[in-house]
Structure 1
Amino acid sequence: MREIVFDTETTGTDPERGDRIVEIGCVELIDLVPTGVTFHRYINPERDVPAEVVRVHGLTGEFLSDKPVFGASEVVEELLAFIGDAPLVAHNAEFDRRFLNAELGRLGLSLISKERCVDTLLIARKKYPGAPASLDALCRRLNIDLTARDKHGALLDSQLLAAVYLELKGGRERRLDFLDPDAAAQTQNQTSQGILEAKSSQPRRERPQALGLLSTLEEIEAHRAFVATLGKEPAWNRFLTESGQGTA
């Protein structure tokens, strides 16, 4: 299943009062795992960026002045092509959805429905009731490396959230069941950036298929013949006796 984890940085908290998006970052997931394919744009908000907001994400009006506006094809058209019709995963998703819809609405484009969005904040609050549920708090709780996060950044935060989302959905544990111990330990200690780099350079490992039980007489007889070559009292003989299949 394809999903898109995304995050925005803005000039403030209220798009209805003129606040705008200044950065958007997206991370593609297939079956919960980052593929290494991302989308990232800085955006000229066509307005000032308050100093208190700059302290949060570090994006000044001067830095953004030569960046494309949201309506530029390299932003909105490429963004919509990237996300396609995939579900959108965000932390406090309604905040990002409102800002994205405000930008789309200005251009007369179709809006993002609430039903399309997956809110990791709600998932975390349900999974860990009463516990802090900010992105930082969840990363610390789930042992996801935060050393690269000096300030908020839409792409970095999307990468971190992708790792958090994988943990919240139990996906990493399922995949680690089939890794050797060294590979499992290495995967557990990867930073969010490291996860993306690893996934971009290596094919995603598929879950191995479980072997079926011996079910035909021919298979049972072949198995008995094999067990007979192992010695007089192989442990498997006891299993065959206890299971009612006799001894080889």
Structure 2
Amino acid sequence: MSLQHKLQETAQWIRARISVQPRLALILGSGLGVLADSLEQSVYLKYEDIPHFPVTTVEGHEGALVVGNLNGTPVAVLKGRFHLYEGYSEGTVAYPIRVMKALGIDKMVVTNAAGGINERFKPGDFMLIRDHINLMFRNPLIGPNEDSIGPRFPDLSEAYSKKLLQVARKVAAGQNLKLQEGVYVGMTGPTYETPAEVKMLRKLGGDAAGMSTVPEVIAARHAGMQVLGISCITNMAAGMLEQPLSHDEVVETAVRERDTFIRYMVQLIPQL
């Protein structure tokens, strides 16, 4: 079965179960899925029930598509995502984003939990992603190009929309919310980086590192979607503090900052 046929089957299955046409997609990272609980008139679809969808295996990623209204704006929320380190291919990681496009969505907000590389950052900060560095050395567009989705050689000079970044800054200023900004480095994981690798990433221009987001953004831009990226800095990267890193710390920090995150997103989404 062709990719396009699978996408249409998935999109049709979803459309038959929702009552609103979402105009924006959100991908919620580790510990941030609680935002989906703020939707009104929502429909909750488990990934395991959606045709051709993979199933998430990571703690903090519940694994459901929630469609409803957030402060009056119809949205599709991916409550949990897929990672290369789970053993999924690049195409599988990108599949939900392509489904969002097949549903008629042209804007995406992608969030993640990330380790701070920039020495001015601290756990609990939120960082607007201005750009990324792909050190996964993997790309969801490798293989035959699906011309019906996007071009063979898509431009990533504006992977993250400058227009959406301006809106995000304005909303944050209105809430007196101090946002960091920087470059996200995509790593495959599942190990955290070594102290030596963190020093290298800093020299390369990275401000935060994580194990997601980059394949999703590439797939979104290939499909012509505008993207806004937001990282929750849940910990400082290896070697910056005298303590070991753990996924529990990542989830705990994200949960601790969830009220700030929800307040911000509830105001931001209708303006995008």
TM surpasses 0.5: no
Structure showing the higher strand proportion among its residues: 2
Structure showing the higher helix proportion among its residues: 1
Q: What is the TM-score normalised by the length of structure 2?
A: 0.29
